[in-house]
Amino acid sequence: TTTTKAEETTTVQPTTKPDVDTTGKNVKKGGYVKKNVSAYNLKLEEVTEVEKGVRYYVYKECNNGYSLIKVGNQELLVETKYITYKCNAKKIVNTSDKKYSYSDMKVDLKKLEKAYGSILKVDIAGKSLDKRNLYYVTLGNAKAKKTVYVETSVHAREYMNTKFMMKVIEDYCRGYDTKKYKGKKYSTIFNNVKLVIMPMVNPDGVTISQYGPKKIRNAKLRENLYKIAGGVDFKIWKANARGIDINRNYAEGFDRGDAKIPGHKQYAGKTPISEPETKAQVSVVEKVKPDVVICYHQAGEVMYHLNHTKLSNMLYSMTHYTHIISGQTHYGTFSDYLDARNILNCTLETGLTPAPVKNSMYKKIYKTNKDVLVSVAKMYL
Ligand SMILES: [Zn+2]
């Protein structure tokens, strides 16, 4: 009815500055408003609106019936009766979407950041050759001393991992104030150990694998793709838009691979760290200095790591992926780059059949891996 609708969208209180009552109960946790309500901005001294479905930081429940909430560096007073501590944000990531394209991710990142901006930050580490953004997200307390770094969809055809990762990002945000993992609150874990995730390292490649070169906007890149493909089905593309494999483009063991010319996989390029995607990852890693790195790939339900460690044993107990001790192989991979810097890392290969995996495999990938990052973060508490 119209009455309900009007109630849903507007409240007029407070129209003037409410008394700032400094006495009250300290809360200091995430909360939501039950509907769009008016609030009073203490700094700007004006009435403003707070939206339902957005996580705010509730600082204090004051004795005068108002709560002090924080939005960025602004402090607002809102009536306590409108506050709820249960997440009421709309669900964003649609996992029934078969392909989950770069554009889908871009739209969802924007929505996620709007709903959970107090715990989720979206940044851009560079642009791909075809000018797509190389996004990375920081989940949790951006100032946390410990960091878990995660890369996803380095290899184009392994794009289902992006859909899985975006869902996990949303899960962790939704459960931030209410859920626990093995007795520890998500908020406790992620306030102390942040996740830095690049959910689609190779967006041009993903676009090629999903739609073919026709979706590559730059004509030179597009025409070149047909030349270098050598008749291969673009669905199985792993490389970037000029046929360089990002996971062969690092300096450690550079150009030891089989491919000597650009193509769908394993060509290292002319020089190490020549590609924007490689450069972006290196810049983020150098900036955030991760304590541990999880590399998500998609081939055969196996896991690669240098040695058996507490981390690899824990990941095995969760996934039961077959252990492969990679040793000092050096093929210009991201793992080689990390090993050379003594950054503990493990590569998880989701999906049993060759990528792109069938959509029916999604459920198992999600179920097996949904708690991986929260459990890795918990190790560093
Ligand atoms: Zn891969």
Q: List, for residues 251-283, the tens digit of each pLDDT value.
A: 999 988 779 999 999 999 999 999 999 999 999
> Which domain-ending residue is among 41, 57, 84?
84
Same domain for 330 and 183, yes or no, is yes
Q: How far, in Å, from the CA of 324 to the mean position of ligand 1? A: 15
Q: How far, in Å, from the CA of 247 to the mean position of ligand 1? A: 8
Same domain for 67 and 142, yes or no, is no
- Any idea what DSSP says for residue 271? S
17 within some domain? yes
Of 139-148, 165-174, 221-230, 328-337, least confident by mean pLDDT is 328-337
Q: How many domains does the chain have?
A: 2
Same domain for 51 and 125, yes or no, is no
Q: How far, in Å, from the CA of 298 to the mean position of ligand 1? A: 6
Alpha carbon distances (Å) from 296 to 55, 242, 363: 29, 22, 16
What DSSP string describes 56-80? EEEEEEETTSEEEEEETTEEEEEEG
Q: How far, in Å, from the CA of 219 to the mean position of ligand 1? A: 27
Q: How far, in Å, from the CA of 198 to the mean position of ligand 1? A: 14
215 within some domain? no
Q: Which residue type sits at 213?
A: P
Alpha carbons within 13 angstroms on the beta-carbon side of residue 248 total 23
The domain containing residue 290 runs over which residues? Answer: 102-204+275-379
Return the higher-pLDDT residue of 216 and 17: 216
Q: Which residue type sits at 295?
A: C
Q: Which residue is it, tokens 């891996």?
A: 369
Q: How far, in Å, from the CA of 349 to the mean position of ligand 1? A: 7
71 within some domain? yes
Q: How far, in Å, from the CA of 124 to the mean position of ligand 1? A: 22
Same domain for 141 and 283, yes or no, is yes
Alpha carbon distances (Å) from 76 to 39, 65, 69, 83, 350: 6, 13, 5, 13, 45
Is residue 244 scored above 80 in pLDDT? yes
Same domain for 292 and 373, yes or no, is yes
Same domain for 175 and 35, yes or no, is no
Surrounding residues of ion ligand 1, Cβ less than 5 A: 155, 297
Same domain for 285 and 176, yes or no, is yes
**What would the pLDDT profile of 47-102 be if each residue is shown by its tens digit?**
999 999 999 999 999 888 999 998 878 899 999 999 999 999 999 999 997 899 99
Same domain for 159 and 194, yes or no, is yes
Q: How far, in Å, from the CA of 377 to the mean position of ligand 1? A: 23
Same domain for 13 and 117, yes or no, is no
* Dihedral sign, Cα of residue 94, residue 95, residue 99, residue 105: positive
Same domain for 123 and 186, yes or no, is yes
Tell me what pLDDT residue 7 has. 45
Tell me what pLDDT residue 14 has. 58
Per-residue tokens: 319: 């996934």
Q: How far, in Å, from the CA of 274 to the mean position of ligand 1? A: 19
The CATH number given to whatever domain includes residue 311 is: 3.40.630.10
Of 59-63, 182-186, 337-341, 342-346, least confident by mean pLDDT is 59-63
> Which domain-ending residue is among 53, 84, 115?
84
Q: How far, in Å, from the CA of 226 to the mean position of ligand 1? A: 22
Q: How far, in Å, from the CA of 250 to the mean position of ligand 1? A: 15
